Amino acid sequence: MSDAKTAPAQHKPRPLIDLLVSIIIPSIILMKLSGDSHLGATKALILALALPVGWGLFELVQYRKFNFIALLGVVSVLLTGGIGVLQLDTKWLAIKEAAVPGVIGLAVLVSTRTRYPLIRTMLYNEKVINVALVQERLQERGLVELFNLRLLRATYFLAGTFFFSSVMNYIVAKWIVVSPAGTEAFNEELGQMTLVSYPMIAIPSMIMMMAILFYLWRTIHGLTGLSMEEIMAQQKG
């Protein structure tokens, strides 16, 4: 009984809550409450950024699992707050927006030289793929090395999605955020940028991720003969 009480809760995706807390509510705060008659530019910025940071820290404590990408997200939000509060040149916002996905893309490439390539953490893992069965079938057929080469190719595709986000983030930030940091206009433009980034950057990146996952599935199916039901990890209720 004690083990059940101390075991960390299993993480269950909550995309609607994530969308509300990380994008929609902060954007509304920035665009509607930044005027002097409401919270003011600085307080509105701090409140808007506190929501995704607080949510990220809550999930970290709740599920007790370190997530490099989630950590970068928190750092990104804190840097945005620093740029606004310290009233730095808005060029730093564009640089920061490009740097975060760029760093992840570089980390994906560098990880191919280590024992723990990030594609295994993001896509080819036990939560998504029945890795044990796939590896068993690959070994039986002597196709492990060929599969690893295909997995390396998928890694390059994965890095490419982050580099795409990096370029798009820079373009969107330079296009929308043009007012001096620390002003009501800056906050409003920051909120607009957050909303625009979702359909322009997040959704295309998600589609690319799904395409990479489909590429992995086709590769595994072709090399092992396993069906989709056998390849995909069984979700426990």
Query: How many other CB atoms are there within 10 angstroms of residue 227's CB atom?
Result: 9
In a domain, 2, yes or no: no
Q: Render pLDDT for 217-230 as a digit per residue (tens, 0 to 9).
A: 888 888 888 888 88
Domain count along the chain = 1
Q: How confident is the model at residue 212 (pLDDT cuts 50, 70, 90)?
A: confident
Task: Look at residue 3 and tell me if it is in a domain.
Answer: no
In-domain check, residue 79 = yes
* 9 occurs within a structural domain: no
What is the tens place of the pLDDT at every residue in 62-97?
Answer: 666 555 555 666 677 777 777 777 778 888 889 988
Q: Which residues of 41-58 are buried (b: 16+ CB within 10 A; e: fewer)?
A: bbebbebbbebbbebbee
Asked whether residue 84 is assigned to any structural domain, the reply reads: yes
CA distance 180 to 73: 23
Within-domain flag for 7: no
Q: Which of the two residues, 9 and 138, has the higher pLDDT score?
A: 138
The answer to whether the pTM exceeds 0.75 is no
* Domain that residue 68 falls in: 15-231
